[in-house]
Structure 1
Amino acid sequence: MSKKMKVVTIGGGSSYTPELLEGFIKRYDELPVSELWLVDVEAGKEKQDIIFDLCLRMIKRAGVPITLYKTLDRRAALVNADFVTTQLRVGQLKARELDERIPLSYGYLGQETNGAGGLFKGLRTIPVIFDIIKDVEEICPQAWIINFTNPAGMVTEAVFRHTSFKRFLGVCNIPVGMKMFIRNVLQVTPQDNLSIDLFGLNHMVFIKDVLVNGTSRFAELLEGVASGTLKASGVKNIFDLPFSAGLIRSLKLIPCSYLLYYFRQKEMLAIETAEFYKGGARATVVQQVEKQLFELYKNPELDTKPKELELRGGAYYSDAACEVISAIYNNKQTEHYVNFPHKGHIDNIPADWAIEMTCTIGRDGATPTSRIKHFDENVLGLIYTIKSFEVAASRAALSGEFNDVLLALNLNPLIHSDKDAESLARDMLLAHQAYLPEFAQAIAQLK
């Protein structure tokens, strides 16, 4: 067997951790994890303790020699780490609720990775990820960081734009879900070779071709989605609306479900506003689901990942993360869909952008697929708009300047008024001040 490996999971008290562990257990023959460290902060200690006990039972049931640790001391955990996974949520789900409710109170879409909510999740998260990177550079510079903390695209952009750290990949479950949908509807067997040409930004990806054993089957997939005979793959945290047949046929692309926020903005806003005025929001639902999950997790008889975890909205994260880790560890040179800097591979966007697209992953990280050389012109304008927002947001997260926040908000297509942007920026900075130390001076001037 290959040498033993150490994995450190930051945000170890997350309800997703049992799925990640299940992924490692399933792949133990190819990923011989000898140590798994669960790291959290004081506010997450109670959940971390529950997760730790459940994971111990899962390991015992599986009979694999993984030694499990829990700690609130991140630096101690990082010693000799081979892989660091990040799945943290600064401010926990209460902060997410503010990200959704405050924009909705102004009549704007509230969401944790898009619009004003996505911006403020990024502002809270990016400095913490940078602190983790500093620790990794000092303590375990050989380690890879596999990030699935949202907003993954904005975080990856910030890392490659403002640090020199290279061993970092952003992972998302959306492309994995799309791939599983394609496998099901095209009845692709495990023996078949399925390859997908996917491109764009995180939560803004499009499929432009699907190859089964080297033969394109995109035309039948596209027509099936357009006509409604095939139901496009949705995710739990987005209300499930179909894209119009005209959009699908005219684009000649299959968009991921997050693009509903742009192509069906009016309907999505109406749905979320109705939920808001009824006292609900996605964050409220998630908190209820998470409360139920942790009650299940406490059961001393439970020693497997419960089916109810799929309601949480992050299905397939373990497949995405574990497959990427295995590809690096075993130098597999296999196809994946991650966030990384393309370094000029795409000829009609700036060379310094971090993007999400089909790539090959091995011991040196991600290499873009040779089949995609440029982004489709039909959606390039929208991609440019969102990337400009991400670049501005990553700058604001580090500067702590009120005007940088305003710029990012005004660049986002889900915000329609510069006056509202100013009020939103003020309200959200004040609401999240406990988790925005970089903005202490700006916040003091707002009071």
Structure 2
Amino acid sequence: MTDHKKYSVVIAGGGSTFTPGFVLDLIKSQDKFPLSELKFYDNDAERQEKIAKAVEIIIKERAPQIKFSYTTDPKTAFTGVDFVMGSIRVGKYEMRNMDEKIPLKYGVMGQETTGPGGMAYGLRSIPAIIEIIDWMEEYSPNAWMINYSNTIAIVAEACRRLRPNARVINICDMPIDDMDRMAHICGLDSWHDIDFNYYGLNHFGWWKEVRNKKTGEDLMPKLKEYVKEHGYYVGGDYDKDTEASWIQTFKKVAEEYAIEPETLPNNYMQYYYFPKWEVENADPNHTRTDEILEHRQKIVFGECKRIVDAGTAEKNIWDIAGLHSEYIVDICHAIAFNTHEKFLANCTNNGAISNMDPDSVVEVPALFGADGIQPMATGEAGRFQRGLMMEQQTCEKLVVDAYVEHSYNKMLQALTLSKTVPDASIAKKILDEMMVVNKPYWPELK
């Protein structure tokens, strides 16, 4: 490392249950992405403090050279920073619970980032992300925002339209999880050992090519042979801590692959290929939100309390690095040190997928450097994939239309067009109920 600069980072969403693990990975990566200061920002002071008090101990023990603070004041948070990490959940888990359960009441899949739930979440997220961008531009105009707050596709479309010149990069780590599984299926160490060609929308894409990064070997034949039987499920030690719902998701990829065997699908395609199956196999009274509240949230806040009570963070539960936080650190390193490494970004198409509209927001490989991202050409989308993408991206654009125009009709059109919703009458029932619970967060739709 030739540059001796150290960076100031603010995590917008300091109360997230993912924050402690991210901080541990930042600390472990000081040779790669050195920090002078780390700040948390959240509008929920009580929730943030539970996380921050534990993180304060972690930093004091492991990286005392990093100045640490947390605040609910935007000016304090966003002044003098080089990077903003967007990790917010507007409405917290109470609203995610509604995103999942309201559609299921009407026989429609309930999922936080896809279908009606994803649209509801996206509409809530737009004003909050725009507000954070504006704070960053006011207080630290040279900073970069790395946003991984959902619903990414809708947020990215809103950024494209409402803040086209903002220094914001919208990313998602889900394809990295799939690629890490591909690497282990092929006997490689991690996703870092894979080169790839991928295209689609967020939580809605396909791999056209997967190769061994070192040797150039085409890994697609081996992967296809494996995936048609097992999906992306690896098993053994790799999956010993994988939750049952995720094991089912990774195994379901085998059926997704059978529909279009020229490519390999993102695991989220199950929600679009098999929405009826999703409903039939869901418990409308106990969804993914309930699982998280019963397990991850209790574990994270319990561990934070344990650390604070003990006054030490030795042998904490986050000492094993996670793909999510590793990926974000890698991206920050690429921007800070202008490495032009290849990662996935959600960005304006402008020819990256040659047969999609230029103003489509797509998820494609891009080179990351000090000047931001340079999307790479991925060629044509297949006829089947393009048809699905055109439908889904139109839903996403209609949600942003609804936000900009305060239009009930545009939001109704978005839900009606979704492949997950059977007809307009069901779309209207879902929307009318969602409008009531989202009143504190959505613009008034007329």
**Of residues 340, 345, 357 in structure 1, which corresponds to 2:364?**
357
Equivalent residue letter for 2:388? L
What whole-Å deviation, never above 9, does each CA across 1:246-283 have from its counterpart, x for those lacking one? 843743211111111112222211111xx11xx31111
Cα root mean square deviation, aligned? 2.4
Equivalent residue letter for 2:435? L
Q: Counterpart of 2:169?
A: 169
- Distance in 2 between residues matched to 1:229 and 1:159, nearest whole Å: 34
Q: Does 1:12 align with 2:18?
A: no
- Distance in 2 between residues matched to 1:316 and 1:190, nearest whole Å: 10
Question: Which portions of structure 1, spanning 4 or more consecutive aligned residues, are displaced by more than 6 angstroms?
Answer: 232-235
Q: Does 1:377 align with 2:379?
A: no
- Distance in 1 between residues matched to 2:26 and 2:383, nearest whole Å: 40
> Secondary structure of the equivalent of 2:440?
helix
**Of residues 308, 320, 326 in structure 2, which corresponds to 1:319?**
326
Q: Structure 1 residues 308, 138: CA separation in 2 closer, same or farther (over 3 Å shift)? A: closer
What whole-Å deviation, never above 9, does each CA across 1:212-238 have from its counterpart, x for those lacking one? 122211111111111338637998565
Q: Structure 1 residues 82, 230: CA separation in 2 closer, same or farther (over 3 Å shift)? A: closer
Structure 1 contact 225–232 (Cα < 8 Å) conserved:
no
Q: Counterpart of 2:272?
A: 262
Structure 1 contact 225–248 (Cα < 8 Å) conserved:
no
How do 1:35-46 residues align onto structure 2 when only pairs under 5 Å count? Answer: 35-41=37-43, 44-46=44-46
Q: Counterpart of 1:445?
A: none
User: How far has the Cα of 1:418 moved from its partner?
Assistant: 0.8
TM (norm. structure 2) is: 0.90
How do 1:110-129 residues align onto structure 2 when only pairs under 5 Å count? Answer: 110-129=110-129
- Distance in 1 between residues matched to 2:202 and 2:276, nearest whole Å: 22
What whole-Å deviation, never above 9, does each CA across 1:6-29 have from its counterpart, x for those lacking one? 111111111110121122112111
- Distance in 1 between residues matched to 2:338 and 2:314, nearest whole Å: 30
How do 1:8-407 residues align onto structure 2 when only pairs under 5 Å count? Answer: 8-41=10-43, 44-189=44-189, 193-212=193-212, 213-228=215-230, 231=233, 238=246, 239-240=248-249, 241-244=251-254, 247-248=257-258, 250-272=260-282, 275-276=283-284, 279-289=285-295, 290-300=297-307, 301=310, 303=313, 306-307=316-317, 316-370=323-377, 372-407=378-413
Q: Counterpart of 1:413?
A: 419
- Distance in 1 between residues matched to 2:360 and 2:266, nearest whole Å: 20
Equivalent residue letter for 1:68? F
What whole-Å deviation, never above 9, does each CA across 1:276-301 have from its counterpart, x for those lacking one? 1xx31111111122123201211134
Equivalent residue letter for 2:376? T
- Distance in 2 between residues matched to 1:78 and 1:6, nearest whole Å: 10
> Secondary structure of the equivalent of 2:68?
strand
Q: Does 1:432 align with 2:434?
A: no
Structure 1 contact 173–315 (Cα < 8 Å) conserved:
no
User: How far has the Cα of 1:193 moved from its partner?
Assistant: 4.5
- Distance in 2 between residues matched to 1:136 and 1:20, nearest whole Å: 21
> Secondary structure of the equivalent of 2:145?
strand
Equivalent residue letter for 2:16? S
TM (norm. structure 1) is: 0.90
- Distance in 2 between residues matched to 1:261 and 1:309, nearest whole Å: 33
Runs of 5+ consecutive residues of structure 1 not aligned to the other structure? 443-447
The more displaced of 57-66 and 177-186 is 57-66
Q: Structure 1 residues 117, 222: CA separation in 2 closer, same or farther (over 3 Å shift)? A: same
Q: Structure 1 residues 90, 188: CA separation in 2 closer, same or farther (over 3 Å shift)? A: same
The alignment covers a number of residue pairs equal to: 430
> Secondary structure of the equivalent of 1:416?
coil
User: How far has the Cα of 1:63 moved from its partner?
Assistant: 3.2
Q: Percent of counterpart pairs with the same letter?
A: 27
User: How far has the Cα of 1:431 moved from its partner?
Assistant: 1.2
> Secondary structure of the equivalent of 1:251?
coil
> Secondary structure of the equivalent of 1:280?
coil
Runs of 5+ consecutive residues of structure 2 not aligned to the other structure? none
